[in-house]
Structure formats: structure tokens, C-alpha cells
Amino acid sequence: MAEAAGILFCTLIIAAGCFLLYGTHARWTVLVDPPSKGEIFLFASSCGTYFGPRAVVLWTYLLGLLFVSAGLLGLWNGYRR
């Protein structure tokens, strides 16, 4: 049962990464142009304020790639036993 939970968790992490990658590629406003009022809570918002909108796009791509990589690494480590 624990292995199934690990597989599900890694799959959800991969899905979240794919969501970020696709949303950034499609230029969804929520991901690419966050509101500046959330600057205290959202890193992407303060990143956009200080470094510009291109930095937000790059940050979201990087975060999506990290999520997908972490999920794949978790699945690989789970099956390697």
C-alpha cells in the first residue's frame, strides 16, 4: 500500500510540473503575469516586480522542470529497489 501512495504522489508531482510547463507555454495569466498585490506571498509576483516579466516566465519554466524531474526521480528510486 505504501508503494502505491508513493507512485500516486510522484505522479501528482509530475502532473503539477506538466501543468506549470503547459501553462507557461500557453501564457496563462495566472502563471505568467501574477498580480503585484501578492508580492508578500508570491515569489513570482516579487520576481516580476524586481526583474521583469521575462524572469517570471523563466522562473515558472524552471519550477515546472524541477517538479517533473523530482517526480521522475522519485518514481525511478521507487522501482530501483
pLDDT score of 81 more than 70: no
pLDDT attached to residue 12: 96
Distance between CA atoms of 38 and 29, rounded to whole angstroms? 14
12: left (phi > 0), else alpha (psi -120 to 50), else beta?
Answer: alpha
Q: What is the pTM of this model?
A: 0.85
Per-residue pLDDT tens digits for 21-78: 999 999 998 888 877 776 666 788 888 888 988 999 999 999 999 999 999 999 998 7
Q: Where along the chain do its domains lie?
A: 2-79
Per-residue pLDDT tens digits for 43-55: 888 888 889 889 9
Q: Provide CB contacts within 8 A for 50, sequence distance 6+.
A: none
Band (pLDDT 50/70/90 cuts) for residue 2 is: low
Q: Give 4's Cβ-side CA count (13 Å radius).
A: 1
